[in-house]
Structure 1
Amino acid sequence: MKILKFGGTSLANAEKFLCVADIIEKNKNNEQVAIVLSAPAKITNYLVNIAENNIDINKILKNINLAENIFIEIIENIKKIESKFLYKETKKTIKIEFNKLKKTIDSIKILKKYPEKVQAIIMSIGEILSIHIMKNVLKSREHQITIINPIKNMISIGTFLNSKININESKKCINKININKNHIILMPGFIAGNEQGELVILGRNGSDYSAAVLACCLNAQLCEIWTDVDGVFTSDPKKISNTVLLKSISYEETMELSYFGAKVLHPRTIEPLKDFNIPCVIKNTYNIQSQGTLICKKNTFDEKILKGVTNLDNITMFTLSGILLRQNNNVIQKIFNLISEENINIILITKSSSKNNFSFCTQDKDRQKILILINKAFKLEFKENLLNNINITNDLSILSVVGFNISKKHDIASKIFYALGKSKINILAISQGSSKHSISIVIKKEKILQSMQNVHNALFCNKKIINVFLIGVGGVGKELIKQILQQKNFLAHKNIEIKIRTIANSKKILFLNDLMELQDWETHLKNSKEKFNLKILNKLLEDNSFLNSVLIDCTSDDILSKQYVNFLSKGFHVVTSNKKANTSSLKYYNDIRQTELKEHKKFLYETNVGAGLPVLQTLRNLINTGDDLICFKGILSGSLSFIFGKLEENILLSDATKKAKDLGFTEPNPYDDLSGIDVARKLLILAREVGYKVELKDIEIEQILPEKFKKYKNTKEFLDKLKEIDIPFMEKVKKAKNSGKVLRFVGTIEKKGRCSVKIEEIHIDNPLYKVKNGENALTFYTNYYQPIPLVLRGYGAGNNVTASGVFSDLLRTIL
């Protein structure tokens, strides 16, 4: 014997009804089956609205018609698919049931509120009609049916709207039914009968509970719950990414997950299955091939300790303190008894080691009632200051991690606290040990989703996730996104995932979620209504709670670079191609490093000197292994490398500069390149990396251009005026050539930190001799590398190589 229960989404339309009938037939071929059905999707909501709203008769009639039309549409479409379906008989029954409902409502419409007995009758119509439709579908397919009447056979105690079934008495009743072994058994869920033989309903998840009880009464070997998900996941896949389907889970773990908010089977459903040791499988009518999740006494397939991360929202925490708590152990018990007598559920309890205070959590809706109860019961104690005023904290959530004997595994708790601590989420209370299968933490409700994601990632996800906040999508930023998309699959094989959370330019900001396609980022940014400024950025960073968050600055903005200390302090790694911060005052340079150490974050800027060339990392490796820089000489400008290379070909300075600009090697105004200031900035970064305390003003720059060229801000005018020095410059080129040398614009760091940038005549034996066409070359003379220096050579400019360097820095945040 097998029990199959189908929920509302499994019966949402004619196609799903017939799919369920196919599943029933397939299972019937192997063994006898008993079927429990819910009302079709949406029906229960309409019926609840009718039962709870007896003031507006027009709204009631509207809901009745909507519910009736759903059933009529279902059977009309079944008739179109299966010609033998008993359509007329089914339609007649539907009409009778809804006419009875209308008469019931009409007869008691003068009441301000329907009696619970009437509410129960109204709310149960959906399940009754589901069974009638399925009976006629199966009969039309020539199956024989036995229907169990739950009002007569599911004996319950409790109220009309929330009853509990007496399994032993119900079993006796069902055993008296002469059920043919070849019949398919049908029973509406959600419904039972009281001792007076009146219809009652079973409250939340009532149909699941009906199926579990029927499994016990029929001594079933298995109970299958068919729904719209593949089974039990490690968290809610609609809210949390990277969830994992569990192959199996124990009864105790399932009850723990459900108690703390997971949308799995209600503990009341699990209890009878556990008591009678009946396995249960959660399966998906939308994905029949999925094996689902087995709920049983012991995890058969899945030996992993951890089973899930879940949450309860709308929580209030009460904290009581005072000397009476230390002196009298009965106070806490008295409070709990008071609350229990009012049928209020205490979800979580924590007590301080000093015994001077304790806290407990309940649903927000019970807050006022509990406050009145405690104040009334301990009026004298509060007056005598034996108890302090109750501290109430609202708008909370409880995050729970569930797993077998989890409280004995010390590393799990440490991972949870690390994940929350790294994302700067404040823990208000912890409950560990009250249940051996869970650890629960109280936090602010506004932080619950991100907290769950971070904890889930820490416990279940082998992926290393980098959350990126990208500022600047010009050439480098755009190319970076392109490279991240290209490498997505490659990184996935290494369990690395890059999630770009924000993209901003100087005017707009785009907030991306997991549903947005990154390929379409330009369209999304163009259509974004969100303006970008520092205030918005700081608010965004302040509210961020993603683990391993990285701010990438692909701008040349001075104001943004002055925010790096702030960004690091907010828990962000900073990756930048912007040289401004590293070449500002030595004080700010040091402030960044101190904050980096204090916050345990990384400040990465490899592209500041050599774009994609591993210049700074190579230099750090030398210093960290005890080497000492004796002298550095390098060509640090791709644009000047190109220009000076062209001079060798007898091309005039003005023409070479124009060509460099046309090819995109130079800044918008080539004066910025020819002034030597960019080379000086890169040299300053190198000098500071070695340990020299140098400011930009300390670097000696030999001017390529006369002083008057500063005033030419217009590019065309600048290039025209540049012709004035073509002849003098060509004479310098010829002079060097006559000596077997070439001219190069070289940055130099000498032993005591003296830095200079100037034009030098370079001999053929020098590693810088052949460097041109936009290449950079850096020569390090050190204790280890002399007389032949360590040479790094390659393209040091261009969007692709710079983006590649930024990308490399980004990956270093997790490596």
Structure 2
Amino acid sequence: MKLLKFGGTSLANAEKFLYVSNIIEKNAQSEQISVVLSAPAKVTNYLVSIAEKVIQDNQVLEIINLTEIIFIDLIKDLAKRQSNFCYIETKESIKKEFIQLRKIMHGVILLKQCPNNIRAIIISRGEILSICIMKSILKSKNYNVTVINPIEKFLSIGNYLDSTINIYESKKRIKNMIINKNNIVLMPGFIAGNEKKELVVLGRNGSDYSAAVLAACLDANCCEIWTDVDGVFTCDPKIVSDARLLKSISYKEAMELSYFGAKVLHPRTIEPIAKFKIPCVIKNTTNIKSTGTLICSKDSSEEHFLKGVTYLNDIVMFNISGSNIKNMNNIIVRVFSVISRNNIKVILITQSSSENKLNFCITEDQTNITLDILDKELQLELKNGLLHPFQITKNLSILSVIGSNIYKKQDIASKIFSSLGCSKINVLAIAQGSSKHSISLVILKKDVLKAVKNVHNTLFYNKKIIHLFLIGIGGVGSTLLKQILKQKSFLEKQNIEIKICMIANSKKALVSDNTINLLKWKTNFEKTKKQFNLTLLNKIIKNNHLSNSVIVDCTSDELLSEQYVNFLCNNFHVVASNKKANTNTLEYYQKIRNTISKTNRKFLYETNVGAGLPVIKTIQNLFKTGDNLIHFKGILSGSLSFIFGKLEEGMLLSEATQEAKKLGFTEPNPCDDLSGIDVARKLLILAREAGHEIELKDIKIEPLLPNTFKKYKDVDKFLLELKKLDSHFLKRMKNAQKSGNVLRFIGTIEKTGDCYIKLEEVNANDPLYKVKNGENAFAFYTNYYQSIPLVLRGYGAGNNVTASGVFSDLLQTLS
């Protein structure tokens, strides 16, 4: 015999009831089937609200009427969909149940109280009616049905609202039943009976527990729990989107997973199937093709010994300590004896014998009662100063890693602690060894989601993941996304994955909890209505729990650059093509460096100076090894390199500028390039890298343009006005060429830290003589490179090379 159990979401409406009946019918073709049903979705919530009088007395009848309508509408729909469905008979059964329920509630309202025995009757109506409806469906399909009454057949021990079934006695009772081998067996979940044959309920996840017990009583060869998820995952898929579905787990692993927070099964459900060695499969009614997860005696996939990362919230840790206690063991025995007598569940225990200290964790709702009983039990020790006052730490969570014989695996603990350390998460207590199958850590509740995500990734994927938050999708930003998409397969081979969590411009943002599809990002970005501003950005930053999160700034926004310290303090790396942070005040420049040192985050900005050229890395490595800058000269503007190269070929200044803009070499307004301010910013960055503490205003710029040009904010007007300077620059270029020289716009840094920028004539022996067509060139004269300078030369402008430089910096965050 096979047992099938269906949860409330699988029975939410007529269509789903029929779908479940089809599953039952299909299974019944090969063997006898027994079925346990929960109440339809939301029904139990309504009944609980009635029983607990969450609502006002005058609303009780309204809720009862609403609940009755749910059932009547459900069977009306069934009558339309299923031929021969016994609508009248089923409706009468439903009406009788609700007449009885109204009588009960009338008495409750008069007495102004609802005893637990009455509450149990009220909240279990949904399961009884589920069986009534399913019986009618199966009868309409010409199946014979045997209904087991759990009040008669399940003997329970405990209170009315949270009882435990005596399996052996219940098994005897069910064995005495005469069940036709051709019948489908139905039983409502969640319900049992006490010695007085009164209805009791089985507490949280009671229907699953009912199913496991019935499987044991019927000697079922398999127990299938049908729910709304594909099975047991390595982590909650709502938290970790790429959690893996487990093909199989052992009973012990399932027990540990459920004990430490996995919501698929309750520990009580696993006990009966483990005791009687009944295989259990967790399956999904909405995805019938999924194989689900098998829970059995021995896991068949032991090579994947890790099984999950789980957590429990709302935990409190008690600390009991005393420097004058001679026999701490006696105290421990008394503490746990009194806790056990009061039915308080201790989740985790750690002890330090050297410090006479004991820590234990319980759920937050048991804090006051635990404190009261310990105060009474240990009042003499507290009064005489043998014990310190109890320390109670609230707002905690327990993170657990589950796996077969996990204690034998030497590197698991180190990986967990490394992951938490990288995320700056403190561990308050650890328990390993009390179970062969788990390691549990106590951490702050506010850190638990971040911890779960990072530990899961470290243990199950060991992938190097970058979580990218991109701001700025102009030429460089959009090209970066193309390059990331193009390199996806290559990076996968290197075990690297870039997850795009946000794409934003100055107006709006596209945000994803997992990763944005780069094949459709433009379409989805157009559709998004989420406005982008610093408030939204700060909210995203504060709520971020992802490891190796990187903000990439491909804008030229000064306000955004002033948020870098905030980003770094919130555990983000920063990669910037935006030069504004490094050319801000010296105070802010140094503040960023101090923050990097404190947070151990990275601030990478290779493209600030040479686009894709490795200028910053090169000089940083030189200076780290003891070299010093004596003199620097360079062409730091790709756009001006292009423009003056074209002038050398006889093109006019306005024409060359217009072509440079067309090719994407210039800023949106070419006036910014020709003003020399962009070159000044790059020179300032190099000077600061060399150790000179200067400001942007200290750099002397010999302007290419008259001051009157600054007023032209409109690009077309600026380009039109630029024609007035064509003859002047044509004349200067021809004069230089007469002497065998060329004109180059050069930035210089002296050993003293003096910096200046001007248009110079250079001869054929100068390393900058042949630099044109958008190339940059950097000539460093240092202690190590004196007579012949270290020269870096290559394209220093254009979307492709700049995006490539940003991409390179992005990958550097993994090192």
Who is 2:382 aligned against? 382
Give the aligned partner of residue 335 of structure 2. Answer: 335
Amino acid at match of 1:642: F
- Residues 192-228 of structure 1 deviation map (CA, whole Å, 9 limit, x = unaligned): 1222222222111111111111111111111111111
Q: Superposed, which structure 2 residues align to 1:233-632 within 5 Å?
A: 233-470=233-470, 476-477=476-477, 480=480, 495-501=495-501, 513-514=513-514, 519=522, 527-528=530-531, 532=534, 545-556=545-556, 567-568=567-568, 570-582=570-582, 596=596, 599-617=599-617
8 A contact 1:7–1:38 mirrored in 2: yes
Amino acid at match of 2:160: F
Please state whether the residue corresponding to 2:304 is helix, strand or coil: coil
1:675 Cα deviation after fit: 5.0
CA contact (8 A) 2:500 2:515 kept: no
CA apart distance, 1:278: 0.9
- 1:93–1:391: structure 2 CA closer, same or farther, 3 Å change rule? same
Pairwise CA distance, 1:421: 1.8
Contact 1:6 1:38 in 2 (8 A): yes
Separation (CA, whole Å) in 2 of partners of 1:304 and 1:790: 53
**Does the CA-based 8 Å contact 2:779-2:789 persist in structure 1?**
no
Q: Aligned pair count?
A: 809
Deviation at 1:237, TM superposition (A): 0.9
| TM-aligned CA distance change 1:722 to 1:286, over 3 Å | closer
Partners of 2:144 and 2:183 within 8 A in 1: yes
Residue 772 to residue 339, structure 1, CA distance change in 2 (3 Å): same
Q: Which amino acid aligns with 1:802?
A: T
Is 2:809 the counterpart of 1:792? no
Question: Which residue number in structure 1 is paired with residue 645 of structure 2?
Answer: 645
Q: Deviations over 1:572-630 (max 9, x none)?
A: 32212233554578897677667646644333211012213344446667889999999
The one-letter code sitting in structure 2 at the alignment partner of 1:305 is F
Matched-pair contact (CA < 8 Å) for 1:431–1:439: yes
Determine the C-alpha separation between the residues in 1 that align with 2:698 and 2:556: 21
What SS does the corresponding residue of 1:465 show, helix, strand or coil? strand
Q: Is the 8 A contact 2:681 2:696 kept in 1?
A: no
* Alignment-derived partner of residue 813 in structure 1: 813
Contact 1:778–1:793 at 8 Å: present in 2 too?
no
1:82-132 per-residue CA deviation (whole Å, 9 max, x = no partner) reads 112222221121112211222233345322222222222222221122112
Q: Structure 1 vs Structure 2: percent identity of aligned residues?
A: 60
Cα pair distance change 1:294/1:785, threshold 3 Å: farther
Q: Is the 8 A contact 1:234 1:307 kept in 2?
A: yes
Q: How far apart in 2 are the matches of 1:50 and 1:59?
A: 9
Report SS of the residue matched to 1:329.
Answer: helix
Q: CA 1:624/1:322 → structure 2, altered by over 3 Å: closer, same or farther? A: closer
Q: Determine the C-alpha separation between the residues in 2 that align with 1:228 and 1:558.
A: 49
Alpha-carbon distance in 1 for matches of 2:469, 2:336: 48
Relative to structure 1, the CA distance from residue 779 to residue 325 in structure 2 (aligned partners, 3 Å threshold; closer, same or farther) is same
**SS of the residue 1:109 aligns to:** helix
Q: Could you tell me whether the CA contact under 8 Å between 1:325 and 1:355 is conserved in 2?
A: no
Tell me the CA shift for residue 301 of structure 1. 3.1
- Measure the CA separation in 1 of the matches of 2:231 and 2:272: 20
Give the letter aligned to residue 60 of structure 1.
Answer: V
2:4 aligned partner: 4
2:93 is the counterpart of 1:93: yes
| Structure 1 residue 42 corresponds to structure 2 residue 45 | no
Structure 1 unaligned residues grouped into runs of 5+: none
Pick closer, same or farther for the CA change 1:329–1:739 going to 2, 3 Å. same
Q: Deviations over 1:630-667 (max 9, x none)?
A: 98764321221233133234444466556656776545
Change (3 A) 1:780 1:207: same
Q: Which amino acid aligns with 2:612?
A: G
| Cα separation, 2, equivalents of 1:326 and 1:542 | 48
Greater Cα offset, 516-525 or 356-365: 516-525
Q: Cα distance, 1:358 vs. partner? A: 1.6
Partner SS state of residue 382, structure 1: helix
Distance apart, 1:6 and its partner CA: 0.9
Q: 1:88 to 1:368 in 2, by over 3 A?
A: same
TM-score (norm 1): 0.88
Q: Kindly provide the amino acid, as one letter, of the partner of residue 532 in structure 1.
A: L
Question: Would you say the 8 A contact 2:637–2:679 is kept in 1?
Answer: yes
For 1:509 and 1:5, locate their aligned partners in 2 and report how far apart those are by CA, in whole Å: 44
- 1:228 aligned residue: 228
Give the 3 Å change call, closer, same or farther, for CA 186–630 of structure 1 in structure 2.
same
* CA gap 1:523/1:700 in 2 versus in 1, 3 angstroms: closer
SS in 2 for 1:776: strand
SS at match of 1:323: coil
1:66 aligns with 2:58: no
Partner SS state of residue 371, structure 2: helix
Any conservation in 2 of the 1:642–1:772 contact (CA below 8 Å)? yes
Q: Go from structure 1 to structure 2 and tell me whether the alpha carbon gap of 1:581 and 1:330 turns closer, same or farther (over 3 Å shift).
A: same
Q: Report the counterpart of residue 110 of structure 1 in structure 2.
A: 110
Q: Distance in 1 between matches of 2:515 and 2:814?
A: 25
8 Å contact kept, 2:553–2:578: yes
Q: Secondary structure at the match of 2:17?
A: helix
User: Per-residue deviation at 1:26?
Assistant: 1.4
After superposition, the C-alpha distances for 1:268-321 in whole angstroms (9 at most, x for unaligned) are 111111111111110111111111001111111353221111111122222122
Stretch of structure 1 that moved more, 584-593 or 368-377: 584-593
Q: What letter matches 2:794 in structure 1?
A: R
Counterpart CA distance in 2 for 1:120 and 1:542 is 44
> Structure 1 residue 731: deviation in Å?
3.1
Q: 1:58 to 1:387 in 2, by over 3 A?
A: same
Counterparts in 2 of 1:732 and 1:432: CA distance versus 1, 3 Å: same
SS for the counterpart of 1:262 is: coil
- Which deviates more from structure 2 when the two are superposed, residues 491-500 or residues 111-120? 491-500
Paired residue for 1:139? 139
Counterparts in 2 of 1:112 and 1:758: CA distance versus 1, 3 Å: same
Q: Could you say which residue in structure 1 is the equivalent of 2:185? A: 185
Secondary structure (helix, strand or coil) at the match of 2:111 reads coil
1:149-199, Cα deviation, whole Å (9 max, x unpaired):
212211222222222111111111111112222221111111112222222
Deviation of residue 800 (structure 1)? 4.8
Q: More displaced, 565-574 or 306-315?
A: 565-574
In 1: Cα distance, 2:616 partner to 2:232 partner: 49
Q: 1:96 to 1:715 in 2, by over 3 A?
A: closer
CA distance in 2, matches of 1:321, 1:508: 55
Residue by residue over 1:413-459, the C-alpha shift from the partner in whole angstroms, topping out at 9 and shown as x without a partner, is 12222222222222222222222221222222222222211221221
SS at match of 2:317: strand
Separation (CA, whole Å) in 2 of partners of 1:57 and 1:700: 80
Moved more, 618-627 or 557-566: 618-627
